[in-house]
Amino acid sequence: MKVGIIGAGSMGSGIAQVAATAGCQVIVIDSNPEILAKAENALRKILGRLVEKGKLSQEKINDIFGKIQYAQDINLLAQSDLIIEAIVENLEVKQNVIRQLETLATDQCILATNTSSLSISAIAASCAIPERVVGIHFFNPAPLMPLVEIVPAVQTSNEVLNHAKSVIDSWGKITVLVKDTPGFIVNRVARPFYGEALRIYDESIEGLPKGQDGMATIDWAMKEIGGFKMGPFTLMDFIGNDINYAVTSTVYKSFFYDGRYKPSFTQKALSDAGYLGRKTGKGFYDYSADAPKPQPIEDSELGNRIVNRVLTMLINEAADALFWNIASREAIDLAMTKGVNYPKGLLKWADEIGINNCVTMMDELYEIYKEERYRCSPLLRRMAKENKTFY
């Protein structure tokens, strides 16, 4: 199979590695020769480390690298069976690229977008044959993260959808089918992990210290009590505040400014200042060598309040995704465990906590704030009334 990748950034390079490892012939296209050279050198280092660790043989590494071509000429993609664009999260830019790809690709070629939050239907609408456009959303780093969201546009044909899913399955990935709505599963359901943590910090709930110690306390609670692999502030710094803020803003606007997805002024300020996290040396935390280490308050009562509030908001979002038929319950739970490494599927977690308890917590938050942000999902409320569980 011949696969074309548009964009030689970390995501495009990662997808290329996955496809080549699965035996595909891959061409990575980028207009910037420096980015292409950087991507090629980075892949050499990555594959070299895999040899050193004994995870792959030198012969296999040579085979993978031999299947990838780096180039600037987009016309080289003319004979591709599948082309995946992995460029900037800008609707107009993606539409222009997909439209250009359509003019040079064969009618049988599947055109895919790796967008994390933009409308697949809007991207497909730029094409004369929108039926062959589909969303194939990998998670970063693509070679390591097992989940891929397969997202049909309104226009996508069943044949293209099934073929795209079959291809990505054959690459060894775990795929979930998702309705074309803002954020799909993961970037929609995960918003409260960041947003509610920021809200707790911004309002400085009782017992929470100010500044980085407060952020560290929230991170400590979510890791040590909640069981998450990384706290929200550490994770936002790892992702990049520019990227995380942009996704939140896109989801917020795409949901017609629904208050549940309202971005944080704190994160906007950091993004505007260029404090983007690890990649700039400063974000929510200061990563310079001489910076003082934040000291969390390791108080179980405070920690449980933090975890219960964030977790309930996450569960409410997952339940609402199911209520609106964004995906099946199994797909939602699978997406959150395999896409962002949550310790449990949120709907299974709701059953353990008790759906009545989740509804009570949401209602208590709404009583305090009277904001749409804290409205309880109709599905949760109905299930509590009928004494039902998700599983």
When pLDDT is averaged across residues 102-114 and rounded to a whole number, the result is: 96
Q: What residue ranges do the domains of the chain occupy? A: 2-180, 186-391
Q: How confident is the model at residue 237 (pLDDT cuts 50, 70, 90)?
A: very high
pLDDT at 157: 98
CATH number of 186-391: 1.10.1040.50
What are the pLDDT digits (tens) for 365-384? 999 999 999 999 999 999 99
What is the secondary structure of 308-368 as a DSSP string?
A: HHHHHHHHHHHHHHHHTTSS-HHHHHHHHHHHS--SS-HHHHHHHH-HHHHHHHHHHHHHH
What is the secondary structure of 170-203 as a DSSP string?
A: HTT-EEEE--SSTTTTHHHHTHHHHHHHHHHHHH
What are the pLDDT digits (tens) for 49-90? 988 888 889 999 899 999 999 999 999 999 999 999 999 989
Strand partners, 6: 29, 85
Positions marked active-site: 116, 137, 149, 187
Spatial separation of the C-alpha atoms in residues 17 and 48, rounded to whole Å:
13
Strand partners, 25: 2
Least confident of 42-46, 220-224, 353-357: 42-46
For 278, what's the count of Cα atoms within 13 Å in the CB-facing half-sphere? 7
Least confident of 241-255, 308-322, 332-346: 241-255
pLDDT at 56: 85
Q: How confident is the model at residue 117 (pLDDT cuts 50, 70, 90)?
A: confident
pLDDT exceeds cutoff 90 at 201:
yes
Joined together, the tokens standing for residue 74 give 């987009």
pLDDT at 379: 98
Q: How confident is the model at residue 269 (pLDDT cuts 50, 70, 90)?
A: very high
User: Is domain 2-180 annotated with CATH 3.40.50.720?
Assistant: yes
3-state helix, strand, coil in the chain (%, to 5): 55, 10, 35
pLDDT at 5: 98
User: How far is the CA of 22 from the CAs of 11, 194, 327, 383, in angstroms?
Assistant: 17, 34, 27, 43
When pLDDT is averaged across residues 15-39 and rounded to a whole number, the result is: 97
pLDDT at 370: 97
pLDDT at 251: 92
Counts of helices then strands in the chain (DSSP H, E): 17, 8
Instruction: Count the residues in the chain.
Output: 391
Spatial separation of the C-alpha atoms in residues 214 and 217, rounded to whole Å:
5
Inter-residue long-range contacts of 249-256, CB under 8 Å, 24+ positions, other chains counted: 250/89, 250/117, 250/118, 250/182, 250/183, 251/117, 251/182, 251/183, 251/187, 251/188, 251/191, 254/117, 254/119, 254/182, 254/183, 255/182
- The Cβ of residue 135 has, within 10 Å, a number of other Cβ atoms equal to 28
- Is 186-391 the same fold as 2-180? no
Greatest Cα pair distance in the chain: 63
Mean pLDDT over all residues of the chain? 96
pLDDT exceeds cutoff 90 at 105:
yes
What are the pLDDT digits (tens) for 151-196? 999 999 999 999 999 999 999 999 999 999 999 999 999 999 999 9
pLDDT at 212: 97
Joined together, the tokens standing for residue 360 give 């009570």
Q: CB burial class (10 A; 0-12, 13-18, 19+) of residue 63?
A: middle
What are the pLDDT digits (tens) for 271-296? 999 999 999 999 999 999 999 999 99
- 221's enclosing H/E stretch is none
Exposure b/e, 245-264, CB count within 10 A at least 16 = b:
bbbbbbbbebbeeeebbbbb
- 14's enclosing H/E stretch is helix 10-21
Phi-psi region of 274 (alpha: psi -120 to 50; beta: other; left: phi over 0): left
